[in-house]
Chain A
Amino acid sequence: MYTREMIHIENLNKSFGDLHVLKDVNVTVKESDVVCLVGASGSGKSTLLRCVNFLEKKDNGKIIIEGKEITQDTHDINEVRQKVGMVFQHFNLFPHMTVLENIIEAPVHVKKIPKDEAIKEAKALLQKVGLDDKADVYPSKLSGGQKQRVAIARALAMKPDIMLFDEPTSALDPELVGEVLSTMKELAEEGMTMVVVTHEMGFAREVADWIIYMDEGIIVEKAKPEEFFTNPKEERTKEFIQTIGLK
């Protein structure tokens, strides 16, 4: 069966000054795939994710989203970003707006959806992430896990085709990680195409279709979860799995 390529990255390079963060990276993500990017801090996985929605500017290489090669010159990046939702480690909710206002902000002001319609959709999304009672609350009154679920709802409000997660549970207290992961898992089960930078190996093993292990700006190994954890091919992957104590 043919499935659409949602993200296709070819020979992507990115440096910060003298530091070569991404070295000739090639990645393909197909429709409904859940891809987990794992690796040590500084391996380039967050930078790779941020290049996909152009928060970082690539040095060279190709970024192809839904079949179209995207560059800052040929495409309206704002339009591309509407299809590619992003969830941040530190939530980045808008503190001067209520939960509901956070969610309808972009649909109303970017997509020009009528406000009452946007509110209706936002309430449905809040129900989906289990926070329909928090619509009129300001973000400062929420726990970390609730904030991240609002952030997910906010990204979903733009009806993206792809969702990017940049260490979505790394800033959370351990007891709040589960609620965010289960929201993400539901999303995956609905068929959302997802790229997740994570240290949660349990989640990666259970939910991911593919696991990509990165080290020093290079993709060392891409494998199905079972294979990745039980029978890694590369020496560096084996070491990584040993250090995180999962086998």
Chain B
Amino acid sequence: MPSIGHLLQTFFDSSDLFIDAMLLTLQLTVVSILVGIVIGLFFALLKISNIKALEWISNTYVYLVRGTPLIVQIFILYFGISGIFLIPDFWAAALALAFHNGAYIAEIFRGTIQSVDKGQMEAGRSLGMSKALTMRRIILPQAFRRSLPPLGNQFIIGLKDSSLAAFISMNELFNVATTLGSNNFDEMTYLLIVAFYYLVLVAILTLIVRAIEKKLAVSDR
């Protein structure tokens, strides 16, 4: 194990590189979650469409994502996408992560949409609102509120999962840690440092999620 003094020294010496890496990790995470929310909502709506073919498409997507390791998905999508289109590595990694997050987010949305009392749909319909309008104006706003806490949770999971983008040469936190570690023959020091960065990020996110939950609880109506 490295000594405390050596750890601190290395921590401060490497902070420039790690802060850049941390920003890249955050960018990857935010983009992959935001795109994942769009994908997730789309597949959640397919899932509750009551149209067999659409449900099947959505179920297959979720099954594929849940049934295979993330690293395999990242490699398949990375080589698959870059084999067809010329897109920057960042977007290949972000889209692969979004594809993965989307499946879990689809399940979150499906659950919260179905948790809205069915009397809400009936009330909208009885006023002459179409199914789509009732969904957009009445059901989804209520479902979104209920989705925020589990979405926050998915955000934290997505943050940690983004470390796998290291394997397609993204210079995010984990990649910087392993590169510096092997260049300096000092793996353990850099791994401890990168663990610290992740812990700080997750702590901040946890506080944000908690604040949102608290706010929702207060205005719970």
Residues of A within 8 A of B (CB): 53, 55, 78-79, 81-82, 84-86, 88, 90, 92-96, 105-106, 109-111, 138-141, 154-155, 158
Contacts and interface: CB of A to CB of B under 8 A. Distances in A.
A92 B122 contact: yes
Interface string B105-130: 00000000000010110111111111
Contacts of B195: none
Closest 9 CB pairs of A and B: A92-B123, A106-B127, A82-B128, A86-B126, A140-B221, A92-B119, A81-B128, A138-B221, A110-B128
B64 to A, nearest CB: 34
Contact of B125 (A81, A111, A141, A158): A81
Contacts of A85: 126-127
A90 B125 contact: no
Chain B binding site: helix, strand, loop or mixed by DSSP? helix
Contacts of A105: 127, 129, 137-138
Interface string B57-85: 00000000000000000000000000000
Nearest to A138: B221
- Tier of interface size on chain B: 20 to 34
Given A96-B142, A96-B221, A140-B221, A158 B127 contact: yes
Taking each of A85, A90, A92, which has the highest tally of chain B beta carbons within 10 Å of its own beta carbon?
A92
B214 interface: no
Contacts of B119: 88, 90, 92
Contacts of B130: 78
A46 to B, nearest CB: 12
A110 B127 contact: yes
A63 B117 CA distance: 28
B141 interface: yes
25 contacts: A78-B128, A81-B126, A81-B127, A81-B128, A85-B126, A85-B127, A86-B123, A86-B126, A92-B119, A92-B120, A92-B122, A93-B123, A94-B120, A94-B138, A95-B142, A95-B221, A96-B142, A96-B221, A105-B129, A109-B129, A109-B133, A109-B137, A110-B128, A138-B221, A139-B221
Contacts of B127: 81-82, 85, 105-106, 110, 154-155, 158
Given A81-B125, A92-B117, 14 more contacts: A55-B126, A81-B128, A85-B127, A88-B122, A90-B117, A90-B119, A92-B123, A95-B221, A96-B145, A105-B138, A110-B127, A138-B221, A139-B221, A140-B220
Contacts of B141: 96
Contacts of A93: 123
B53 to A, nearest CB: 21
B220 to A, nearest CB: 8
Nearest to B118: A92
A160 to B, nearest CB: 9
A195 to B, nearest CB: 13
B129 A78 contact: yes
A39 B202 CA distance: 60
A81 B141 CA distance: 23
A66 to B, nearest CB: 15
A24 B129 CA distance: 30
Contacts of A111: 128
Taking each of B120, B138, B221, which has the highest tally of chain A beta carbons within 10 Å of its own beta carbon?
B221
